[in-house]
Each structure stands twice: as C-alpha cells, then as structure tokens.
Amino acid sequence: MQQADFIKIIGPFQDKLYRLAKRLLVSREEAEDATQEILLKLWTKNKSIEQYKSVEAFAMTMTKNFCLDRLKSKQAGNLKLVHTNYEEKGSSLQKKIEANDSVSWVEKIMDDLPEQQKMVLQLRDVEEYDYDEIAKMLEMQPTAVRVALSRARKTVREKLIQKHSYGIG
C-alpha cells in the first residue's frame, strides 16, 4: 500500500485516535506520542490493514489498549485519566468561568467512574460511535454498552445535581 492510500484510509479518523488517547493520558505530549505509535503500528500492518472489516474500529481498539498498557506501565506512574480541554468561544467571561467550572466537575466525576464506564462515555458521547462499534472496540455485548453508558450518565448527572444543589462538595 502506498503512503497516499494509507493516509486516505487513516486520515478521516486520525483525530479520533488522538482524542481517545488524550482522554486516557494526562498530557498532550503523551497523547501525541501514543497516536504516533498507533499510526506507526498501523503502517507496519499496512499490507494486511484492509482485511479488517472496520479499520477505524481496529485502530480505536489499538489506541485504547496501547493507552491502558501505558497507564499500567512503570514509566507512566505520574499519569492519570482526564478529560480533554474544553473551550467555549464567543461568550462572556462569567459564562466561560461557569462552563470551565462545570467541565472541571465533570472531569472530576469521570475520574471516579469505573474504567469501562469512562471508555463507553468517551466513545459514545464524545466520539459519537454507535453501540455496535463500541461493543466491538471494547469486546462487550451491545446491551452491556448501553447499561454501562446509562450508569455512567446517571452517576455524572446525580453528582452534578448534588454539586449544584449543595454547593461545593
């Protein structure tokens, strides 16, 4: 496979690979390194890459596994799971502060979610994959994906309501 063909296949979802890596790894640099590693691994498999039913799902699964392995490794002792940065344009300073505060709370809540719920929430609500794609990526049943997503959303919603009802908690 030529480099141009490889880029045509990988290009449309390369940003999703980065965002997933950024979701799992603290720093932008770590996410960029992880994405580069995944792209390199995909390139080395380029002769057989088209055999996969969904190259995107395969690449997302590789990214997830690579990042989780990285988090477990000794050299990643200072990494933790976080949400991507949030930026809102064209609003007042007060609204930006409130939005950043809300995103910060969602990040904190997500930090406490079980790993599986965190991944399902990221893939469904941020990356907008459908349930079947997520099920393949995470090696789960589609119904289990729906249950995990429902529980994750419920936990986030309840903790946000609690925070807004009782103030900083």
**23 within 8 A of 34, measured Cβ to Cβ:** no
Confidence of residue 84 (pLDDT cuts 50, 70, 90): very low
Residue 107 has pLDDT above 90, yes or no: no
- Tell me, what's the pLDDT at 86? 44
Write the CATH number for 109.
1.10.10.10
Lowest model confidence (mean pLDDT) among 41-45, 81-85, 94-98:
81-85
* Shared-domain flag, residues 1 and 74: yes
Q: Is 128 left (phi over 0), alpha (psi -120 to 50) or beta?
A: left
Domain extent at residue 168: 92-169
Q: For position 29, which CATH number holds?
A: 1.10.1740.10
Three-state DSSP class for 61?
A: helix
**CA 92/CA 33 separation, integer angstroms:** 35
- Residue 99 in tokens: 């939005």
Question: Looking at 55, 82, 109, which one is the last position of a domain?
Answer: 82
Is 110 within 8 Å of 102 (Cβ atoms)? no
Q: Whole-angstrom Cα distance, residue 119 to residue 127?
A: 10
Structure tokens at 19: 């965002």
- Of all residues in the chain, what percent carry a pLDDT higher than 70? 75
Given a cut of 90, is residue 87 above it in pLDDT? Answer: no
31-76 pLDDT, tens digit per residue, is 898 889 888 888 887 666 666 677 888 888 888 888 888 877 744 4
Shared domain check, 46 and 70: yes
pLDDT (tens digit per residue) in 125-149: 878 888 999 999 899 999 999 999 9
